[in-house]
Amino acid sequence: MEILELKFILKLLEFEGYKAPLVEIKPESKISIPEQEEICRNLGDRGFLIFTYEITKFKIAAPGKFLLKQDSDDLPLTEQELKILKACAKGAMTPQETDIPVEEQQTVIQSLANRNLIQVKPKHKKIKEVWLTERGKEYLQYEYTSKDKNLVVSLDLMSNYLQFLRESFYEVSPPVSMTTQPVSDDKILLTIRELDTQLATNNRLPIFHLRERLELILSREELDKTLQRLQRLDKIELISLPATSACAFSAEQIDAGIPLERCAPLFFITLK
């Protein structure tokens, strides 16, 4: 972990629930917003953080163009999604140019982005709020070690870390083995909820996102069995991929679903 990444997380520990607006997380006084966003994305890719963001500019992607050529009665799109997709087919646009209510703009736009129907450059995803994931907590509790002999951390950041460890000591017991510790159903459900919030999938999370997050601790077979058990327990619902939606995902993403004989794979997860 880079020094600035470490300081960013230690600064985040200062806030209640380890959650804060990005603009308030300043590990160093002169750090810029683009630098903060880059740190967030790097840590998010490793599962340590999740964040909400606001899309400020976008344009139609190839799968979106393909959908618009299909019969409009069969499109897997809401009225607002179709309206935006048609509008951005003419060129890049901002949310303010979509002519839909402000309170609905980000939900609709992010839904299209998550299905690869529109293109959004990283610089046009403005991170708003950040929080530490369960994976991030585990890393700080059991795995983090520093090999940098010149690492300098302020007393305030060190105090944040010590307080975090004290609280963790009373909340959890150390695992016997990081490689053999079972993953609880509650943790799976929490991860689904975190990803759904981060990706704005409106309680319809594609399974491939969950596989990517848990690939280091659960095999494909283990995750399949866990999800099917949670469905039997009525904790989640697994939904097949409609044929009309297949063009919005890559072959690899579709393959990450749970295969079924003679029908489309189970592809979406809905929390109950």
Residue 204 in any domain: the answer is yes
Q: Is the pLDDT of residue 171 over 70?
A: no
Residue 178 in any domain: the answer is no
The whole-number pLDDT of residue 170 equals 66
At 244, the pLDDT band (50, 70, 90 cuts) reads low
Q: What is the pTM of this model?
A: 0.60
* Whether residue 266 sits in one domain with residue 189: yes
* Whether residue 65 sits in one domain with residue 43: no
| Arithmetic mean of pLDDT over the chain | 87
Q: Give the SS3 label for residue 159.
A: helix
* Whether residue 150 sits in one domain with residue 44: yes
Tell me the residue range of the domain where 51 lies. Answer: 3-55+127-171
Using one digit for the tens of pLDDT, what is the confidence trace for 23-72?
A: 999 988 889 999 999 999 999 888 899 888 899 999 999 999 998 888 76
Mean pLDDT for 226-238 is: 93
* Whether residue 65 sits in one domain with residue 99: yes
Last residue of a domain, one of 82, 97, 120: 120
We report the CATH number of the domain holding residue 28 as: 1.10.10.10
CB 268 within 8 A of CB 205: yes
CB 113 within 8 A of CB 59: no
Total number of domains in the chain: 3
Per-position DSSP letters for the chain, written without gaps between them: --HHHHHHHHHHTTSGGGEEEGGG--SSTT--HHHHHHHHHHHHHTTSEEEEEEE--BEE-HHHHHHHTS-GGG-S--HHHHHHHHHHTTS-B-GGGS-S-HHHHHHHHHHHHHTTSEE--GGGEEEEEEEE-HHHHHIIIII-----TT----HHHHHHHHHHHHHHHHH-PPPS-TTTPPPPHHHHHHHHHHHHHHHT-SS-EEHHHHHHHHTTT--HHHHHHHHHHHHHTTSEEEEEPPGGGGGGS-HHHHHTSEEETTEEEEEEEEE-
* Whether residue 132 sits in one domain with residue 114: no
* Whether residue 249 sits in one domain with residue 218: yes
